Amino acid sequence: MLANYLFACLLAASSVSAHGYVRDWLIGGQTFITLLPVGDPNYTAPVQGIGRALQNGMNPMKEPLTNAMTCNVGAYPAPKYANVTAGTNVTAHWTSWPHVGPIYTYMAACPNGRDCSDFYGWEKAAWFKIEETAFIPLVADWNPSGWTWATQKMYDDGMKWTFTIPKCLKNGPYLIRHETMAVQDSNVLGGAQFYPNCAQVWVNGGTGKLKPKLISLPGDIKPTDPGVYFPKQTPPFNYTLPGSRAVKC
């Protein structure tokens, strides 16, 4: 019964065509506006903030093993960084989100330790996941399962998702890769939709104790992962988040 209800919600959501992207980031009490791909179609114009370009606009990634999966189509280094203190929160503010699915965030230290100007993220294993959420409890008359997708919380919070920069990071320049995944069509192989967004930050105040196992993007998430492709109806207690597990300090 629970599985039938969830699958019905997925099918209903699949009829909605609008998508979304991160319009701004709240970091250290300051709001950083990202590139506006819909309002400014001149994708060759230099990026002016911390967010990497979204030449794909609001459209999703459908092939998780391509380089576009790292930071989106045509994402190139931005000129600025947001200073962030390890152990504090970052909020990603999305334009809209009509779909259902999990939310997760990765980070990668820029390899030269000086800046991210020549780092695209797909060159080698450099990433680690810092947070991931599939389902959250939700008690409501319309929700007999008692659970809902993480994206529902983002929607209820005004299209905002907050996560914590691990206190145990070493200091220096990083890419943040924040992503929502739409799973309303995940009963079909290749039906999952990925919406990666990347921003450049400079971490301060970290302990440097974290020594994560680094993974590759693309590579950590595969088309046949059980959290990406599930041909049968999947209740919350059977859902497996795609990719590696989030690190802990």
Mean pLDDT of 96-111: 92
pTM: 0.87
Closest Cα to residue 25, out of 106, 81, 100?
A: 81
Both tokens assigned to 152: 């529902």
Find the range with the poorest average confidence among 40-44, 138-142, 147-151, 193-197.
40-44
- Residue 129, classed as helix, strand or coil, is strand
More confident of the two residues 195 and 231: 195
Q: What residues contact residue 13 under an 8 Å CB cut-off, 6+ apart? A: 98, 99, 100, 182, 184
Q: Which is nearest to 172 in space by CA: 110, 247, 242, 128?
A: 110
Domains and their CATH numbers in the chain:
2-238 (2.70.50.70)
Choice between 208 and 145, residue whose per-residue pLDDT is larger: 208
Mean pLDDT of 80-103: 93
Q: Find the mean pLDDT for residues 157-165.
A: 97
Rounded CA-CA distance 149/138 in Å is: 9
